[in-house]
Amino acid sequence: MTRVAVIGAGSIGANIAYRLAARGAEVTVVDAGKPGNGTSAASISWLSTFPQIAGSVPAMVAHRRRTNDGFRRLAGEIGDGWIHWTGTLTWADLPRTAARLRQDFAAMTAMGEPLRELDAGAVRAAEPGLDPPPDTPVYLEEDGGWVDAPAMVAALLRGAGWHGATVLQDAPVLAVKADGDRHVVRTPEGEVTADVVVNAAGSWASHVGALAGAPVPLDLRPGLVVWSRPLATPIGRVINSTTLNIRPDPDGGVAVHWRGEDTYTAHGYNAETPAQVIEAAAEVIPELRGTAPARSAVGVRPVPPGGPVVGWHPSRPGLYVAVSHGGIGWGPTWGDLAAAAILDGDTSPAAEAFTPRRFLR
């Protein structure tokens, strides 16, 4: 039986741990803190590609279908209390993004994607608490929604436990040593000996990579998420404009990320205050006007230059790396890919597409 130590119990590490354990590996998950408490806890965790992902429309459509199929299968295996198939309402609130959105809508609709343009009356009927800008096309994406990521991580680790996995929490990895063909992962809670080590430490993956002698270059891009107090007229769907990401929260409020005029790719953290974020969201959810934020958190996005890094590390045999932005939506896909590589020796083009060898020599 292959013994695997998974370092990091966020969305990505928990998905990989679950899939490996379900497929028969002997898995130990090691996290520096509480599972699910890293960037995965400070995320909008929205499941959609319209119109978030740059690239060709067929690539967006393929990604969306694979993502949602992966989540449906996972929910069938571990239970579904953590996933909310609410759909998304999208509009462009900057003139420079409107034409691209309209084009993507037309192309994706032509491919049979579940997208519809709603008139103002239909928007009001669907979301009475929402007041989008006038004379702006609003698109409803019926599939997708959002994930309660900490709850998903808990469900994945519970599921991994059914298959014999163990979890060490509050156990920061201090060293990853070689012992012949094996690896020894050292933590204050003890040592884990494994045939394969997975570095799924998210924004800390460069640090864990350094401990293992296997570098992982990363850009770190912080983003502020602000939670409102519960609303009398709750918002049911994910709301996505060019400048705002809003999703419902289980307590009846909303979680808001405000991008301002800069997307994360252009700029990163805009130094806005939680009160300013609520004010920006109040432009489209009037009930928020004048209300105080309930809480906020800065999540640090791990963004490998050149795209996701998922595959065997070229510097150290037996060391697998899985780090990407969009790590909630990609989670089940990375779980499948890692299990195929580690347990089946998969070297197909799909398995190789995100290999660290692309830029690590």
Ligand X SMILES: Cc1cc2nc3c(=O)[nH]c(=O)nc-3n(C[C@H](O)[C@H](O)[C@H](O)COP(=O)(O)OP(=O)(O)OC[C@H]3O[C@@H](n4cnc5c(N)ncnc54)[C@H](O)[C@@H]3O)c2cc1C
Residues 6+ apart with CB under 8 A from 162: none
- The answer to whether 88 and 144 are in contact (CB under 8 A) is yes
- The answer to whether 339 and 20 are in contact (CB under 8 A) is yes
- The answer to whether 323 and 302 are in contact (CB under 8 A) is yes
Tell me if 152 contacts ligand X by CB under 6 A: no
Q: Which of 173, 212, 218, 280 binds ligand X (CB under 6 A)?
A: 173
Q: Which of 209, 223, 248, 304 binds ligand X (CB under 6 A)?
A: 223
Give the span between the Cα atoms of 40 and 52, in whole angstroms. Answer: 18
Stretch that binds ligand X, among 77-85, 89-97, 295-303, 346-354 (CB under 6 A): 295-303
Give the nearer residue to ligand X in terms of CB position, either 124 or 219: 219
DSSP classification of residue 356: G
- The answer to whether 36 and 9 are in contact (CB under 8 A) is yes
Distance of CA 345 to the CA centre of its chain: 26
In the complex, minimum distance from the CB of residue 339 to ligand X, in angstroms, rounded to a whole number: 16
Q: Which of 28, 39, 86, 243 binds ligand X (CB under 6 A)?
A: 39
Tell me if 46 contacts ligand X by CB under 6 A: yes
Q: Which residues make beta-bridge pairs with 28?
A: 5, 166
Q: Which residues make beta-bridge pairs with 140?
A: 89, 116
Tell me if 150 contacts ligand X by CB under 6 A: no
Tell me if 356 contacts ligand X by CB under 6 A: no
Nearest to 69 by CA among 143, 151, 153, 163: 143
Residues 240-259: x where in contact with ligand X by CB under 6 A, - otherwise, as a string: -----------------x--
How many chain residues are in contact with ligand X, going by CB under 6 A? Answer: 40
Give the span between the Cα atoms of 141 and 181, in whole angstroms. Answer: 49
In the complex, minimum distance from the CB of residue 231 to ligand X, in angstroms, rounded to a whole number: 20
- The answer to whether 335 and 322 are in contact (CB under 8 A) is no
Q: Which of 5, 6, 7, 27 binds ligand X (CB under 6 A)?
A: 7
Binding positions for ligand X, 302-341, rule CB under 6 A: 302, 323, 325-329
Distance of CA 331 to the CA centre of its chain: 7
In the complex, minimum distance from the CB of residue 122 to ligand X, in angstroms, rounded to a whole number: 25
In the complex, minimum distance from the CB of residue 221 to ligand X, in angstroms, rounded to a whole number: 7
Q: Give the binding site for ligand X (CB under 6 A).
A: 7-13, 30-33, 37-40, 42-46, 172-173, 200-204, 208, 223, 225, 257, 299, 301-302, 323, 325-329
